[in-house]
Structure 1
């Protein structure tokens, strides 16, 4: 994967993250799952680092990401992902030119697909347990 982190820049990644999570807190369907966030500045710092590394930047925090467990704990559903991706695309398109927004959105969609598969796996296993 092309390292687009350097092209976007850490400051711009932080700006996208900040604007996005400000919008999340106002969003009709997305704000509720995020009520579990107690420390928004810390949350945004961690997510800025997550995206920086995901986009090819070097780690600068010693943090172990637990993407799937955190999303399941927050009540992730495929329907929420649709809203999340739409809002993320809107935010990122306001902050970045298309040549930088597109590869970032592609990564977000890949992560989303993984979360949907995990959600389906857990749902299928729950049905098997309940049967």
Structure 2
């Protein structure tokens, strides 16, 4: 198993994920969008915990494509990633030591840029021309 990118336990990852999604559900802009796509919150949180355990700890087992999921969710817009990341950063700062929170935030922002780019690409034609329908 590779060395973890960040010194953190899987239990801490699960705690951050649960607290973060409690905030998402309460957010007036993001909550309704997530509610359309997440039928089983405990299963979704377990999947996201597996994703982060894979990304941070190198733990095998995550099966999924966050980029594909976000691109296929037609109501996920590029502008949603800034408030999403702000809520995630707030949760990290409250739940983890500063250096751990900052390291995870850096990774989350890198992944967020990739997801935002994928959603933006879905919304434009070649050459950056916006799709208006």
Do the structures match in fold with TM over 0.5? yes
CA separation in 2, counterparts of 1:37 and 1:28?
16
CA separation in 1, counterparts of 2:84 and 2:3?
24
- Spell out, residue by residue over 1:21-78, the C-alpha distance to the aligned partner (whole angstroms, 9 max, x if none): 011100111101111211111111110010111113312x3x4211112112332222
CA separation in 1, counterparts of 2:81 and 2:68?
15
Runs of 4+ aligned structure 1 residues displaced above 4 Å come to 126-130
The reply to whether residue 64 of structure 1 matches residue 63 of structure 2 is yes
Larger RCO: 1 or 2 (CA < 8 Å, sep 6+): 1
**Could you say what the CA RMSD is over the residues aligned between the two structures, in angstroms?**
2.2
CA separation in 2, counterparts of 1:43 and 1:128?
32
TM-score (normalizing by structure 1): 0.86
The 5-angstrom pairing of residues 78-117 of structure 1 reads 78-117=78-117
> Alignment length, in residue pairs?
127
Gaps of 5+ in 2: none
TM-score (normalizing by structure 2): 0.85
Gaps of 5+ in 1: none
